[in-house]
Structure 1
Amino acid sequence: MINIRSLYQEDRSTRRALLILLKKRGKISIQEAAEQLGISGVAVRRHIHELQKDQYVQTNIQRQSAGRPTYLYSLTEKAGALFANGYDAIVNDLLDEVKDEFGDGQVSRLFHRRREKWLQRHEDTFRGLDLEKRVERLAQLQEQEGYMVKVEKRGDRTFVFEEANCPIYQVAVRYRQACQCELSLFQALLAAPVARTECIADGGRKCRYTINSGQA
């Protein structure tokens, strides 16, 4: 006898995995999604169709100079809400109250205090590590917080650190101190020059950082 509830839960799990894959990759084809998820192309199409009905996925057509066009799929703006932590509205309301009562400077001080506490909590785990291990450790911490991290090493001295998700997106859009705090924290923990080259709060698809060892 078919367990309908089990099938439904499996569908939801696969659909969630597909959403995360789209979040990390940006745009992806049916074939690529099938290979990454280990399911058939027919199954991927079915999940894509359901997500499109809910307006979470959109189709992107790439026309070639010759031959048939390529169909890629990506998340819609509406899908961003699926990755929110649910506390953004509360945090923004509290920060609004602080700003109204004490001014924008106090909001900045709150973000700075959060940075200092986070630094004190984790800096011992970075001590004695070379830059590559520091980057790996930072990626682990951010991944645990839901940032969907990818790290790419370029050459001997450069790393590209990408975050496909921003769990505090709504806060960061309203209070840019959140982004400034993250950049400053990365620089302190990595003890290396860090530059932000793309930001989700600015409309980017990812938060992307370039990290250099600073060694000749």
Structure 2
Amino acid sequence: MKYVGEAPQEELATGERSTRNRVARSILDHGPSTVSDLAGRLKLTQAAVRRHLDALVADAVVEPRDQRVYGSRGRGRPAKVFALTDCGRDAFDQSYDKLAADAIDWIARGAGGGARGDAAVTAFARDRIATQAGAYREAVEDAAPDKRTEALAKALSADGYAATARSAPNQQGEQLCQHHCPVAHVAEKYPQLCEAETEFFSELLGTHVQRLATIAHGDGVCTTFIPHGAGHGPPPGTSRVGGTPEPDTPQTDPPQISQQTEHQASESTAGRNPA
């Protein structure tokens, strides 16, 4: 957890952050607390606690509330308590990744495991993308054809993917780079999440795209190659996210990029941490 406005001396700043984290942790462990409660638990003066609380409030980590009183209340205003905000709770360890993985495990087992389980997870991954498709589709359709990859990157960034668009090393297309993946830990076990996303990019941009790297597989950035000319309609035989080609529709192989391009892309992403 990082805070602004610390004292300039490194040792002092470190001590300030440590004590501030203790204040926030005490609220997490014990619930909404008064200044007096915190001072007693942490063996600090009330003035010191107030100073740390002021900084935590400024950083939207905690918020002041009126203390709830059950039963008859005496005279005077109720004491002020300080509670963690959603942002403050997110600063501490969460189990969302494990919860998501457990839920997908349950889906796979419920379908019978094996190939049926894999198919059920794929269906889930495609449905998940479909529920998010509206904003991405609107952003891409409103953009000029040569700006659609950039528009998709901006829409992804709004959902926490820290995405950018840039020219590919061979100048034959663009690279969509996602510097952060909110589901990377789950996708490491279930690559269907990445595969469904790639299918969606292909359908949305109207061309076959090629995944070069993913954070879930240990790369620094999720990188997707998009050839020039993307954005002029869906691939033949596809109409929806995760759609499959019609039986009699001739298929074309996805555009291949040179080994040199793929090597350059790996070098450009290797070792880079997600933003």
Which residue type is aligned with residue 107 of structure 2? V
Q: Give the % identical residues.
A: 24
4+ residue runs of structure 1 moved beyond 4 angstroms? 154-157
Question: Residues 214 and 220 of structure 2 are in contact (CA less than 8 Å); yes or no, is this contact kept in structure 1?
Answer: yes
Q: Deviations over 1:42-84 (max 9, x none)?
A: xxxxxxxxxxxxxxxxxxxxxxxxxxxxxxxxxxxxxxxx9x9
Alpha-carbon distance change, 197 to 5 in structure 1, aligned in 2, over 3 angstroms: closer
Q: Distance in 2 between matches of 1:214 and 1:115?
A: 24
**1:98-177 to 2 correspondences below 5 Å:** 98-103=107-112, 104=117, 105-127=119-141, 129-154=143-168, 157-177=172-192
Q: How does 1:1-216 map to 2 (within 5 A)?
A: 6-7=5-6, 87-103=96-112, 104=117, 105-127=119-141, 129-154=143-168, 157-214=172-229
- Work out the CA distance in 2 between the residues paired with 1:5 and 1:168: 29
Equivalent AA in structure 2 for residue 150 of structure 1 = T
Report the count of equivalent residues.
141
Q: Secondary structure of 1:7's partner?
A: coil
Q: Which has the higher contact order (CA 8 A, sep 6+)?
A: 1
CA RMSD between the two structures:
3.1
Greater helix share, structure number: 1
Query: C-alpha separation between the residues in 2 aligned to 1:213 and 1:164?
Result: 22
Structure with greater strand share of residues:
1
Residue 180 of structure 1 deviates from its aligned partner by: 0.2
Equivalent residue letter for 2:189: R
The letter of the residue matching 1:206 is: V
TM-score (norm 2): 0.45
Please give the alpha-carbon distance, in whole angstroms, between the structure 2 residues aligned to 1:150 and 1:122.
14
Shift of 1:131: 3.3
Deviation at 1:214, TM superposition (A): 4.3
1:124-144 alpha-carbon deviations (Å, 9 max, x no partner): 332253333211111112112
Q: 1 CA distance for matches of 2:212 and 2:175?
A: 10
